[in-house]
Amino acid sequence: MPGRIRNETVERVREATDIGDLVGSYVALKRSGRNMKGLCPFHDEKTPSFSVMPDRGRYHCFGCGERGNVFDFVMALDHLTFPEAVEMLADKAGIPIEREEGGEPRREGSSKQDLYRLNRWAAEFFRRRLASPQGETCRAYLARRGLDAASQEEFGLGYAPASWDALVTAAARKGIGEKLLLEAGLAKPRENRAGCYDAFRDRLIFPIRDALDRIIGFGGRSLDGSEPKYLNSPETPVFSKRRSLYGLDRLRGLRPEVPLLVMEGYTDVIMSVQASGALAVATLGTALTEEHARLLARYSERIILVYDGDAAGRKAAERGAELFTAADLELEISLLPGGQDPCDFFAERGTAGLAELLDRSSDSYAFVLGEVRERHDLADIAGKVRAADELLALARAAANPVKRVLLLERIAKDLGLGRTILEERLADLGGPRPAGPGEPRPSPVPAPRRAAEPEVEEVEAPRSRAARRAEKQVLEAILNGAGGVHPWATRLVAEDFSAGPSRRIFGLLARRFASQESCVADAVLSDCEDEQDRRVLNQLVDDEDRGEILARQLEGAVDFLVRERGLRELAGLKRAGVTHDNFAAVVDRLKAAKSGGAAAENETKGAPPARRPDRTERVRTEDEPSPAAEFAEPEEAWELGEEPGWSGEGGDDDLDYF
C-alpha cells in the first residue's frame, strides 16, 4: 500500500489552489469587500449566505454551517476522501505527489501514472475503431439496444477489433512496451513464443473511470457469441472490481437526497441515463461488497438496488440487503417486472419507468420479508420456524444494536411471535448463519473501525458538559494560534480529553508540538485525513482574530482539565483503598492547579514558572479576577466525589462536536 501523502506536498497543493477560482468553478460568486458571496452549494437557499475568504483560503456558509479549506470543499461536493481531494487538486496544479513509506518520503513511482496514461490512450484507440469501418458490426449492435450517438460519446464507448494484435501493434508504433500492456491487462503473454496478444478482441468496450475521472480499466461485451459474454480488466495497481463501480465518475456534486440506482450491467446504466436522466452505477461482474456499500454511502442517502426479477436477481437482492444491514447502511430494493433487464425497461418506459421504480421500491427488511413469505407457508409450524430463522439472519447481521432491536420488533409483529422467544432463538443461532434460499448466507460484515482509533477502546465514564466545553476551548485556542507561549503540551495528557475526535485531535496537536511543527489550524488540517475529525477541526477555526480572549480562555480551560484529572485520580484511589500519602500527593497537585494554574504546578514540581502571554495592552485592576479564577469553583465543590461546575463563557449549543 502506498504511504501517506507528505504534509509538505499537501501544503504546496493548498497554497497553489486559489479557493475563489475553485469554488467559482462550481458556484457563481460576487465580490463583497475582501470576501466573495454566493448561494450555498450544500443546501437550498434563495438569499446568499455562503462566503469565501480568499485571503484565508477558507469558506463558510452561515446558513448550514459548512466550512473548511480547498480540500474540504471538493471532499464535500465531489464525495472524495482526503487523499483523493489532494490528488485531484495536485493534478490541476501540476504538482507531483510525494508519499511517505517506511518512515521515509518517496516520490510516487511512475507506474500508476503510466497506467493512467496508457488507459487513456487505449480508450481513444478503441473509440476511433468504433467510428471506423471495422466497427460497423458493433455500431449495429448499439443501434439494436437503442444506445444513441450522444450516449456513446458521453460514456466513451469503443470497439476492440477482431484481431489478435491490433492494439499491441499500435502500441509498439507509439513506443509503448509490452510490459506496461501486460501490467494494465490490455495484453496477454503468448504461451509458446515470445510476445503478447490483445486481451480484448471483437468486443464492445466500456471504459471504467474512478471518482477523479481517470480511466482505470475496461469492460468488454462479446459480439461474436464467444465466452465469457462480459470480460473485465484484471486486478491492476489502479483497478479493483471490489472497490470500483461503473458510472462513479458521473456522481460528482450529487446531492445526498437524490436517489442513486445500483444495477448489474454497463448498458443498464447508459440506458437509464439516456432515457430518464437517472443517476446510476453498476457493479463490475462481481457481487456487491462491503467496499461497494461504503463507497455508495458517500454519495447518496437513498440507495436503490434495481435488479432483474428472476431468481438470480432476487438472490442477489437478498444478499445486498444483508450486506447493507451488516454495514449499518440503509438500502431500498426495486425488482423489475416481466423478466426485463434495466436496459430494456428504461428504453421502453423512459422517465415514467424511473418514477415507477422509485414508487415501488421497499426497504431491505420489507423486501426480505416478502421473499420469505413466498418461500414458506406461515400457517405451517415448520414453515414459520424456517421463516423466523431466515429473518433472524438479517437481524443478526446488524452491526448496530439499535437496528437489531428494531428488526426483532418487526419480525415479532410480522410473524406473530414474542420478542423474548426471538431473542432466545437469535442467541441459539449465534454460530454459523442459517442457510438461505439456495446457498449459504455470507458471514456478517463487521462495521469497520476508524483508522485513527485503537483496535479496542477502553470504556470510560462520560465527561461532564463543563469538561467537554473546556476540551473544546483548549483545542480552539491552540488551533487559532493562542497556544504558542502556554505550556499546554506539558500540562495536559490525552486522557484529559473525551475519547473520540477530541482526544484524537489533541494527540495530533501533541505530536506536532513534540516535532516542533505548527499547531495552527491550516497546518493541522494538512495532517488530518479523517473526515469526522476534519469537520470538528473546521468548526473550531475562528473567522476573526481573538488572540487575547483565546489566550485567557486557554489558561483557564487547561487549569480546569488538570483539576478534573486530579479528581478522577482521587476517586480511583479512594475506590482502591490506597494510603493517605498517595492521597496527599494528588491533593497537593489539585491545590497547585487551583491556586495558580501552570505557574503553581511547575513550582510544586521544582520547575521554573511557565512563561505567560505578554499583556501590555491592558493592566488588570487589583480587584479584577485572574484568568484562572474565571474557572475556579467554590471550596466546598472540591470535596471528593463532587463535580465542579463551569463558569466559562458560552452556551451548550456547540457541544455536539465531541
Measure the CA–CA gap between 90 and 98, rounded to whole angstroms.
10
244 is written with which cell numbers? 470500483
DSSP 8-state secondary structure symbol assigned to residue 390: H
Write the single-letter amino acid at 262.
Answer: V
The pLDDT of residue 140 = 96
Do residues 591 and 492 share a domain?
yes
* Residue that terminates a domain, selected from 107, 125, 152: 107
Same structural domain, 357 and 246: yes
Q: 223-245: per-residue pLDDT in tens?
A: 988 889 999 999 998 999 998 99
Please give the DSSP secondary-structure letter assigned to residue 243: G
pLDDT of residue 430: 76
Q: Same domain for 500 and 632? A: yes
**452 found inside a domain:** no
Tell me, yes or no, whether 354 and 378 share the same domain.
yes
Euclidean distance between CA atoms 6 and 12, whole angstroms: 10
Q: Is residue 1 part of a domain?
A: no
Residues 401 and 531 in one domain: no
Identify the segments of the chain with pLDDT beneath 70: 1-2, 101-111, 431-460, 483, 485, 545, 547, 578-584, 586-658
8-state DSSP, 100 = E
Cα 629 from Cα 141, distance rounded (Å): 81
- 642 and 606 within one domain: yes
Task: For residue 218, report the phi and psi dihedrals to the nearest 5 degrees.
Answer: -140, 150
The span from the CA of 444 to the CA of 79, in Å, is: 26
Nearest to 295 by CA among 334, 332, 241: 241
On whether both 131 and 231 belong to a single domain, the answer is: yes
| 342 vs 265: CA distance, rounded Å | 8
CA distance 492 to 488: 6
- Give the three cell numbers for residue 422: 426471538
* The three grid cell numbers given for residue 652, joined into one nine-digit string: 451548550
Q: Count of domains in the chain?
A: 4
Asked if 325 and 364 count as a contact pair (C-beta separation under 8 A), the reply is yes
Cis omega (within 30 of 0) on the bond before 228? yes
Q: Do 309 and 435 belong to one domain?
A: yes
Rounded-to-10 torsion of CA 20, 26, 29, 35: -30
pLDDT of 306 reads: 95
Tell me the residue type at 459: V
Whether 460 maps to a domain, the answer reads: no
The neighbouring-strand residues paired with 105 are: 100
In the prediction, which pLDDT does 453 show? 41
Sign of the Cα torsion 636, 640, 643, 648 reads positive
Query: What DSSP element (H or E) covers 159?
Result: strand 158-160
Q: CATH no. for residue 82? A: 3.90.580.10
Q: Which three cell numbers stand for residue 428?
A: 441459539
Check residue 437 and give its pLDDT: 39
How buried is 62 (Cβ within 10 angstroms: 0-12 exposed, 13-18 middle, 19+ buried)?
middle
Single-letter residue type at 366: A
Q: Which residue range(s) make up the domain with 88?
A: 7-107
Query: Do 407 and 494 belong together in one domain?
Result: no
Domain-located, residue 66: yes
Model pLDDT, residue 204: 98
Domain boundary among 56, 89, 107: 107
Domain boundary among 175, 208, 239: 239
